[in-house]
Amino acid sequence: MPAWTTPDPVALHAATQPERLACVDLASARRWTYSRLDEAIQRAVAVLESCYGIEPGQRIATVARNSADLLILQQAAMRLGAVFVPVNWRLAAPEQQAILADCDPALLLHDAAFDRAPPKNCMTVEVADFAAAMAAQAPATRRPLPPADQPSIILYTSGTSGRPKGVIITEANAFATAVNFGVLGRVGNASVFLCDAPMFHVIGLITSLRPPLLQGGAVLISPGFEAGLTNRRLADPELGVTHYFCVPQMARMLRDGVGFDPANWISLTAIFTGGAPNPAADICWWLAQGVRMVDGFGMTEAGTVLGMPLEAGQIARKAGTAGLPGPSVCLRIVDDDGNDVAPGEAGEIWLSGPNITPGYWNRPAETAQAFTSDGWFRTGDIARRDAEGFVTLVDRRKDMFISGGENVYPAEVELVLLDHPDIAEAAVIGIADERWGEVGRAFVVAKPGRAPDLSALAAHCADRIARYKVPKEFLLADALPRTASGKIQKHILRGWPAPG
């Protein structure tokens, strides 16, 4: 059976509605109709081939803040058959270098803030120079698109082993997420998405861009989130934002930000939240302001999985749940033996469908472990489903916690602490924080004869990992609780009294 060819909605809409607005770069005020966007992508294909020598299968990495140029680059890489790898610009230099070494890019695009040594045998280009080269280049001749089941995007997430791992996303995966979120979120031809979530995450790169582009709507791309600026944009009738996706911490910042006046958000269909738990009380508060807050559940490996209906009554009645599976999502909740649990009982979420990643880049063993023998993806997330089918997340995989919408894996932070000359043992847990949702609390045991300066440990971590991963608290312990096999008992640490 022949492979499914990559879908290309931008090219379709360039033919059917060429003068309709497709994309706005809010920082530069540049605008593209579908015809112009399609042409820009073909110009980018020509630049990648003729100027940089990019071939199908090669990786194109970026370390840059959001811009329409990154969207054009990704779409050009898709048409060429190259693999787009956006790297978190917030990461520390060693973290970025580890990711770049793993994906081995042939080309790295960066913004002016990038000051790292380039990867070996990799060409580096500023995004502004790439945009200038596109403007001067004739569009490439069209060619058949690559198969939809080959790697198109790699998104890196921090692993529980302390090493980042790259999640492979095919165009078939991205298309399925566009359909799943599009149906759940009622996305249509008149939809206008504001994207200020980072485009190195699935929410920014896939969920905020693919559904409107599939339907022929518009995307407004912002360099990043600023509460006051986002409040003004949501209220701007000329922008006409209908869909906005953020993490709950961002929604709280909107409430506290300058110019917060949801009565003026007259175009908005809903605020969609994900990436972290969203308390039922907060959802009901937004409903009282006349704003539908629609919670959901997704992951890098699966895109959009669950979403709430858009009816305010349903949202209020089921506040605190993550909703129902998207139309292409097959979801099971199973016990430790892989048997489906009864409604109301907790179990692990297993997934199947065209939205599911084929695996991890350069990680065959971890890929094999992630799937059952009959192809179900083990999420590691614990949930329960009620009699109406609504799913509520109970716990998160292993020890991960979420700070400001960013996944933090304690093992990664613990490795950094163990690199300190005074530290013999370390354990990190997530604790509640009013501003960030959760932050880290680190327990450390000193080496014999050593007296670590706890106030200096934050600086030690900040030199090696991103700031959002640095624990907020550091506590000195005589010993860490362990099982007979030596595993740290973090459930006991969570029960230890808070300092002070």
Number of CB atoms found within 10 A of residue 400's CB? 19
Look up the CATH superfamily of 9-392: ANL, N-terminal domain (3.40.50.12780)
Of the chain, the percentage scoring pLDDT greater than 70 comes to: 95
The tens digit of pLDDT for each residue in 229-260 reads 999 999 999 999 999 999 888 898 999 999 99
Domain spans in the chain, listed from the N-terminal domain onward? 9-392, 401-495
Strand 123-126's sheet: what is its strand order? 123-126, 107-110, 59-63, 83-86, 151-158, 164-170
Residue 4: closest CA among 141, 142, 144 = 144
Q: What pLDDT sits at residue 485? A: 43
SS3 453: coil
> Where is average pLDDT lowest: 32-41, 103-112, 488-497?
488-497
| Dist CA 11 CA 36 (whole Å) | 10
pLDDT above 50: residue 161: no
Angle between helix 68-80 and 127-136 (nearest 10): 60
Give the global pTM: 0.85
Task: Return the structure tokens found at 481.
Answer: 């609780």
Q: What pLDDT sits at residue 278? A: 80
Q: What pLDDT sits at residue 412? A: 79
| Dist CA 99 CA 94 (whole Å) | 9
Strands annotated E in 314-413 = 324-325, 330-334, 346-352, 377-385, 391-395, 401-403, 406-408
CATH class of 401-495: alpha beta
Mean pLDDT of the chain: 92
Q: Which residue has the higher pLDDT, 406 or 180?
A: 180
| Dist CA 221 CA 209 (whole Å) | 9
**Region at 156 (left for phi over 0; alpha for psi -120 to 50; beta for the rest):** beta
pLDDT above 70: residue 484: no
Instruction: Work out the average pLDDT over 2-19.
Output: 92
Q: What pLDDT sits at residue 487? A: 64
